[in-house]
Structure 1
């Protein structure tokens, strides 16, 4: 009886080993690409902050006439793993991109829409001019969230007709630690 239990246990073990080494059936496959960069900085940039798409919405041309503006749409840049032991003044952010023909301090739009520009503001509601560093923000060790918002602003002036249509724009940001 004891011998049959040993034989049964060995048979079961061999069956499990054989099943574990059986070829895996390919029922679909793919590839995962990993991309990123190593930066010389006291903070890492959260992956969701590196490449963002901000949906501005469907904005009425009536809201933009005579320099009017849309409701601000919030976005943020999240910094992680910060070591602020060497910082004295924190971090500034400079946004760059194609300037608007209506106002060089604002971001231009492309597409079938025209007569408006994208304005950027910081978390306190202060304007951020395109190509100029923001006010320095203090940082703490660990994670830091930098809040911003963008809104569409109608170009002022008699020749600034608001033309309905779709638009896109790209702003790059550069961080500078002090």
Structure 2
């Protein structure tokens, strides 16, 4: 009788195992991160991470012209709360933009790779040149201009020019006031 009772208890325990493990399947955790910021504008998701291809450029162009052709890029703003939109005030929001990256000669942004003797120059549509780590002149946001337009080009930096692939990473930040 004891063996039979022990057998029934073991059978009851083992018959419950599959249902116990089945109830623990199919769950997990989702960790959510974020922040709420107090700025007049956001930066659109397309503008946060961009790649600008300065294409293939012959060494002779850099030697003869000192630089390659300019390539445009833009930073698009979104969800802006401008004073002129919310009330009758005509004063726009002022901001500055700072481009950060490794500095080369003549305040150019440096490049890495086989290609050398050049740096990257960034200018705004007024012709102001960005220097690594320094804020550009102040801009005023207006309701009809939510795209900030810039140009980028390869420029000689007084070192020997070597052909080859190159790359650079340049970040930017905006300060409102």
CA-CA distance at 1:51 after TM superposition: 0.4
Distance 1:169 1:70 in 2: 16
Higher helix share: 2
Distance 2:115 2:80 in 1: 41
Which 4+ stretches in 1 moved above 6 angstroms?
A: none
Among residues 34, 52, 55, which one is paired with 1:54 in the alignment? 52
CA-CA distance at 1:110 after TM superposition: 0.2
CA-CA distance at 1:40 after TM superposition: 2.7
Q: 1:4-15 to 2 correspondence within 5 Å?
A: none
Distance 1:46 1:81 in 2: 9
Greater CA deviation, 145-154 or 129-138? 129-138
- Paired positions, count: 140
In structure 2, the residue matched to 1:98 is 102
Cα 1:38/1:50, change in 2 over 3 Å: farther
SS at match of 2:146: strand
CA-CA distance at 1:123 after TM superposition: 1.2
Among residues 26, 40, 43, which one is paired with 1:42 in the alignment? 40
SS at match of 1:48: helix
Cα 1:37/1:61, change in 2 over 3 Å: farther
SS at match of 1:63: helix
The TM-score with structure 1 as length reference comes to 0.71
5+ residue gaps in structure 2?
1-31, 85-90
Query: Which of 1 and 2 has greater Rg?
Result: 2
